[in-house]
Amino acid sequence: MKTQKFKFLVPVLAIVFAITASAFTTINNSKVDENTSIIMGYTANAIPGQPCDAVQVDCSVVGSQLCTHNGKQVYRLQSGTSCFSQLKRNP
């Protein structure tokens, strides 16, 4: 009798554990508007032909003021090495 209960209980507990674990590992797939989301900024490198330098600033594609970091204009990275799309921010 004990063996039958054990053989029944183990698979049930495994299923309950799997369902519980999957409930905490779901991914939020909500769409983000790229024009208003926070984008990593890049400043032009002083050496021509070199990739842009990444900077930690909160900028976006839309806004009323140009985004700057340490007096340099901040851009959005294009094509892996080119940064020419100006980023902006709201005051």
Length of the chain: 91
Q: Is residue 51 part of a domain?
A: yes
What is the domain count for the chain?
A: 1
Q: Is residue 80 part of a domain?
A: yes
Query: Which pLDDT does position 83 carry in this prediction?
Result: 73
Q: Is residue 25 part of a domain?
A: no
Q: Is residue 10 part of a domain?
A: no
Q: Is residue 33 part of a domain?
A: no
Nearest to 84 by CA among 44, 40, 33, 55: 44
Phi/psi at 49 (5° precision): 90, -10
Q: Is residue 3 part of a domain?
A: no
Domain interval for residue 71: 39-89
pTM, rounded to two decimals: 0.52
Confidence band for 38, pLDDT divided at 50, 70 and 90: low
| Cβ neighbourhood burial of 5 (10 Å; 0-12, 13-18, 19+) | exposed
Q: Is residue 62 part of a domain?
A: yes
- Percent of residues, the chain, with pLDDT higher than 70: 75
